[in-house]
């Protein structure tokens, strides 16, 4: 069975935030503008970050000079140890002189390794700080349309502040109401065909994202949310669309002669026979074919529907049935 529902295209809003605190220098888009993915939307100036980088550059410069001095000292004491070792082999000096020179080299080597570690640490910290400079240019992870701009140039913002809100047009959605009796047959993950309203009438692929089933004490309708793959198409928010959901089970469709359905003030209803009285029953119409109309909600197979002298009927009036026949037809196509 094919369940058809209608609705309008919407999009989940995405906040584009600044990862840095500072002053907003530039905002490049305004509400209503189209923004491509990965575009720079704002520029932030962070005096704190700039000061931090300056401090780290000075500390790193000092650490490198200290490492250079320690390396020169190590080279010197290693050469001194080599000369002392040669003199020892010639029995010109005592063993304690070699041991003392060796200890001096080991101390110099340890100091050099410590200086290397300090310089490497400062260099890593500076690299990290410079990487943060890249966040002064705020980019959007998705393309879409700017729904709202939250800041203007000159504003001071905190880290994680929203710069603007963008509607992601690559992941559009629609919500639609479905009859409660179909709520159990529609589930997340089901494939959907979505058709634009004229004049485009393009067919798009979609999937059911979730179904909000009615409460037991409500039972009137359910809401289905459908995600639409629109990455390759230019679609506008608010566009009217129709979605066709193929249900797993086959359901017998109810058809009635067109004159049996009464239209009044935008509502459609029929008179149903309950006991010996006429009951006004609101119905939802589907397709029309050969003077018949499809009833997609309001009746079930087996209901008795009054088809004659409808102008004389009022809700609750007693009806005498001479030769009852079921006018509710079943579609066997």
pTM to 2 decimal places: 0.52
Q: Tell me how far apart the alpha carbons of residues 303 and 310 are, in angstroms, rounded to a whole number.
A: 17
User: How confident is the model at residue 333, as a pLDDT?
Assistant: 41
Q: For 299, phi and psi rounded to 5 degrees?
A: -130, 160
Alpha carbon distance 304, 325 (integer Å): 8
Structure tokens at 308: 């004659």
Query: Which tokens hold the place of 282?
Result: 């609101």
- For the stretch 67-92, pLDDT in tens is 999 999 999 999 999 999 999 999 99
**Interval 128-165: pLDDT, tens:** 999 888 899 999 988 888 999 999 999 999 999 999 99
Quick one: pLDDT at residue 330? 46
Note whether 257 and 288 are within 8 A (CB): no
> Which range has the worst mean pLDDT, 19-33, 39-53, 210-224, 297-311?
210-224
* Sequence-separated (6 or more) residues with CB below 8 Å from residue 331: 252, 253, 254, 255, 294
Diameter of the chain measured on Cα atoms:
140
Query: What strand order describes the sheet that includes 40-45?
Result: 137-139, 40-45, 22-27, 156-157
Mean pLDDT value across the chain: 85
Give the residue from 261, 277, 282, 281 showing the smallest Cα distance to 319: 277
Could you tell me which residues come within 8 angstroms of residue 132 by beta carbon, excluding any fewer than 6 positions away?
Answer: 19, 20, 46, 49
| Residue 155 · residue 24 · CB < 8 Å | yes
Where is 79: in which H helix or E strand? helix 47-89
Q: What is the per-residue pLDDT for 151?
A: 96
Reduce the secondary structure of 118-158 to three states and give it as a string: HHHHHHHHHHHHHHHHHHHEEECCCCEEEEEECCCCCCEEC
Q: How far apart (Å, rounded) are the C-alpha atoms in residues 190 and 247?
A: 9
pLDDT of residue 235: 64
Q: Is 210 helix (H, G, I), strand (E, B) or coil?
A: strand
CA distance 134 to 242: 44
Is the pLDDT at 217 greater than 90, yes or no?
no
State the pLDDT at residue 4: 82
Q: What is the mean pLDDT of residues 5-9?
A: 86
213 or 177: which carries more pLDDT confidence? 177
Between these two residues, 48 and 328, which has the higher pLDDT value? 48
Q: Can you tell me the mean pLDDT for 25-41?
A: 93
Rounded (5°) CA angle 226-249-240: 25
Which sign does the torsion angle of CA 138, 140, 146, 148 carry?
Answer: negative
Q: Which H or E run contains 5?
A: strand 2-17
Length of the chain, please? 333
Most confidently modeled of 59-68, 142-151, 174-183?
Answer: 59-68
């Amino acid at each position: 069975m094919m369940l058809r529902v209608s609705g309008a295209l919407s999009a989940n809003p995405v906040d584009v935030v600044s990862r840095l605190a500072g002053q907003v220098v530039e905002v490049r888009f305004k509400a209503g503008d189209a923004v491509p993915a990965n575009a720079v939307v704002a520029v932030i100036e962070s005096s704190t970050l700039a000061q931090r980088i300056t401090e780290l550059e000075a500390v790193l410069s000092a650490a490198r000079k200290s490492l250079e001095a320690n390396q020169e000292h190590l080279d010197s004491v290693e050469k001194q140890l080599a000369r002392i070792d040669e003199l020892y082999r010639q029995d010109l000096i005592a063993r304690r002189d070699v041991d003392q020179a060796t200890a001096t080299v080991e101390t110099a080597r340890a100091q050099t390794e410590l200086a290397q570690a300090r310089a490497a640490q400062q260099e890593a910290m500076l690299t990290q700080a410079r990487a943060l400079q890249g966040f002064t240019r705020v980019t959007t992870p998705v393309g879409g349309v700017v729904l709202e701009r939250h800041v203007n140039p000159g504003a001071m913002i905190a880290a994680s502040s929203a710069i603007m809100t963008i509607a992601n047009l690559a992941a559009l959605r629609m919500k639609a109401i479905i009859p409660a009796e179909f709520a159990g047959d529609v589930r997340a993950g089901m494939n959907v065909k979505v058709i634009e309203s004229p004049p485009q009438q393009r067919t798009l692929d979609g999937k059911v994202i979730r179904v909000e089933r009615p409460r037991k004490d409500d039972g009137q309708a359910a809401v289905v949310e459908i995600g639409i793959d629109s990455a390759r198409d230019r679609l506008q928010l608010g566009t009217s669309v129709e979605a066709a959901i193929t249900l797993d089970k086959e359901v017998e469709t109810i058809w009635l002669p067109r004159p049996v359905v009464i239209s009044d003030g935008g509502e459609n209803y029929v008179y149903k026979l309950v006991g010996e009285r006429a009951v006004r029953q609101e119905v939802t119409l589907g397709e029309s074919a050969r003077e018949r109309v499809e009833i997609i909600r309001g009746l079930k197979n087996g209901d008795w529907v009054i088809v004659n002298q409808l102008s004389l009927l009022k809700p609750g009036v007693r009806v005498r049935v001479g030769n009852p026949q079921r006018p509710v037809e079943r579609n066997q196509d």
